[in-house]
Amino acid sequence: MGKNKNQADDFVKQITKKSDDFSKWYIDVIKKAELADYSPMKGMMVIRPYGYEIWELMREYLDKMFKDTGHRNAYFPLFIPESFLKKEAEHVEGFAPEVAWVTQGGNEELEEKLAIRPTSEAIICSMYAKWVNSWRDLPILINQWANVVRWEKVTRPFLRTTEFLWQEGHTVHATYDEAEEETLKILDIYKTFSENYLAIPVISGLKPESEKFAGALKTYCIEALMADGRALQAGTTHNLGQNFSKAFNIRFENRNQELEYGWGTSWGVSTRLVGGLIMTHGDDSGLIVPPRVAPLQAVIVPISRGDWKETVLPDAEAVFSQLKDNGFRAYLDDRDTYTPGWKFSEWEMKGVPVRIEIGPKDIEKGQVVLVNRINREKTFVKREELIPTLEKLLEDIQSRLFQRALEAREANTHEAFGYDELVETIENKRGLVKAGWCEGNPCEVKVKEKVAATIRIVMDEKDPRFKKCSVCGKDAKHTVLFAKAY
């Protein structure tokens, strides 16, 4: 029989309040909204259908953006021979602590142990060495959608898991400038994707030496600020220079018939973006999914009283068909084991952007009720106006989510001109803290040891007000953003 109103309230009460305990709220939302679950293996999660559908939509849009800029997909092996991983010295040093190894195949011990890819530069570059001979073979623009394994000590669903899903692009170019152009082009794709589809505002820029990818010349990233004041690195692009080409002997004959090493890039975003989406937009009632990546953009809940199956359901079904015919991702919740109130709570929990209510009175008036997930605002709309109104409401929700997140980031971006001010701001206010930096690693280490914050971004443009390093007081070479990070 139907669940009553109190049970519906309980449904939401089962989530910890976001303001009480952000970490616990995050885990509660993931479990209650059925995005993911813990698996028997520590640090490995199961992505459930609803969470996976969000990832699939992300993948679909990103894949199109990559293909529109000339990239093609391919697939490389999961295993990397140890000797390959060791070819680029910095690379192996950076990844060694996180690599999982296969030492046995069937009953036989392997002559050479195999790494389960933590990233695929080593295997992909070994193939590029075979495929690249002349300048005519360049550029190589390949992307791979795959899983990777990094043996993490501390894990958190979507944000840091031992195995995760991602895309990794690997390209080779004839010149440094072309590789740099590629690195920045992808950075721009990541920023556009994050802001226009996920409604997550990001700052893009260079990482300091200490935070760059192992083996890269330069690492750029997009960085977002989460609702608890911690930064999230949401995507990275690397200009690899000739480091991997030299290690793997990727050489080509240039137009002057001289042999030259290729110029490489690599870049990736992962299922971590799902975590970023949850933390950026969710509230005390659960998840809020931006309409463009919402597996369900609207859910229809018929008001199920009395003989509703005869009186209300046929109209609800007509509305459902209308939505499907117009390309919306919609669902008709015609379960008769739950009350409308229960269903409202459940779909709010799952973050569906718009709920469409339809009851006997609405049918009399030829209308439906649209309810906005952000503020529960109701719009009464004539049936013939439903499609354009819903379209507009979804666009409004998409842009309001972005605007709201942008305002939150601005409110949580601070400035610090001296060391005491820097440390105190990071400790007490959290968020992003703008500061001057002399480019010295000791200054980074000092802040990291004191308050566990790092330089998230070296800003493209130096802010002239930050004349001195906010840590040591010497002349500042850059303006940077410090933050505690995921």
Residues that bind Zn ion (CB under 5 A): 438, 440, 443, 469, 471-472
d(CA 144, CA 164) in angstroms, rounded, equals 14
**Which is it for strands 478-483 and 108-116: parallel, antiparallel or unpaired?**
unpaired
Runs of H (alpha helix) within 47-88: 49-68, 82-85
Min CB(437)–Zn ion separation in Å: 6
Residue type, 68: D
Q: Which is nearer to Zn ion, 191 or 456 (CB)?
A: 456
Q: Which one, 404 or 477, has the nearer CB to Zn ion?
A: 477
Taking the complex as a whole, the smallest distance from the CB of residue 435 to Zn ion amounts, in Å, to 10
Between 217 and 469, name the residue whose CB sits nearer to Zn ion.
Answer: 469
User: Is 306 or 442 the residue whose CB approaches Zn ion more closely?
Assistant: 442
Q: Which backbone phi and psi does 105 adopt, to 5 degrees? A: -120, 115
Identity of the residue, 94 or 440, whose beta carbon is nearer to Zn ion in the bound complex: 440
Report the DSSP pairing between strands 251-253 and 298-302: unpaired
Residue 339 and residue 8 in contact, taking contact as beta carbons nearer than 8 Å: yes
Q: Are 198 and 456 in contact (CB under 8 A)?
A: no
Contacts of 11 (CB under 8 A, 6+ apart): 342, 345, 346, 349
* Torsion angle in degrees (nearest 10) through CA of 452, 453, 454, 460: 180
Tell me how far, at minimum, the Cβ of 83 lies from Zn ion, in Å: 40
Closer Cβ to Zn ion, 45 or 469, answer by number: 469
Task: Provide the minimum distance between the beta carbon of 479 and Zn ion in the complex, in angstroms, as a whole number.
Answer: 13
- Minimum distance of Zn ion from residue 436's CB (angstroms): 8
Q: Provide the minimum distance between the beta carbon of 424 and Zn ion in the complex, in angstroms, as a whole number.
A: 18
Per DSSP bridges, beta strands 432-437 and 413-415 are parallel
For the residues of 271-296, what is the DSSP string, one character each? Answer: THHHHHHHHHH-BTTB----GGG-S-
CB–CB of 128/140 below 8 Å? yes
Cβ neighbors of 418 (< 8 A, separation 6 or more) are 470, 473
Specify whether the CB–CB gap between 43 and 152 falls below 8 A.
yes
Minimum CB distance to Zn ion, residue 478 (Å): 10
Q: Least distance in Å: CB of 481 to Zn ion?
A: 15
Q: How far is the CB of 94 from Zn ion (least distance, A)?
A: 25
Tokens 């999982």 map to which residue? 100
Complex with Zn ion: residue 222 or 471, whichever CB lies closer: 471
What count of residues does the chain have?
486
* Distance between CA atoms of residues 335 and 314, nearest Å: 14
- Taking the complex as a whole, the smallest distance from the CB of residue 438 to Zn ion amounts, in Å, to 3
- Pick the closer one to Zn ion by CB: 208 or 290: 208
Q: Find the shortest distance in angstroms from Cβ 444 to Zn ion.
A: 9
Nearer to Zn ion, 284 or 475 (CB): 475
Q: Which pairing describes strands 259-261 and 330-332: parallel, antiparallel, or unpaired?
A: unpaired
Please identify, using beta-carbon distances, which residue of 330 and 480 lies nearer to Zn ion.
Answer: 480
- Helix crossing, 313-325 with 386-411: angle to 10°? 70
Considering only CA atoms, which of 123, 94, 70 is closest in space to residue 244? Answer: 123
Minimum separation from the CB atom of position 217 to Zn ion (A):
23
- Cβ-based nearer residue to Zn ion, 3 or 477: 477
Closest CB 209 distance from Zn ion, rounded Å: 14
Taking alpha carbons only, the member of 203, 165, 198, 180 closest to residue 36 is 165
Q: CB-hemisphere CA count at 13 Å for 96?
A: 10
Q: Identify whether the C-beta of residue 264 lies closer than 8 Å to the C-beta of residue 216.
A: no
Q: Which helix (H) or strand (E) holds 158?
A: none
Q: What DSSP state is assigned to residue 80?
A: E
User: Is the distance from CB of 295 to CB of 53 less than 8 angstroms?
Assistant: yes
Judged by beta carbon, residue 224 or residue 423, the one nearer Zn ion is 423
Taking the least distance from each CB to Zn ion, the nearer of 251 and 446 is 446
What is the arrangement of strands in the sheet containing 108-116, beginning at the earlier edge strand? 79-81, 108-116, 100-105
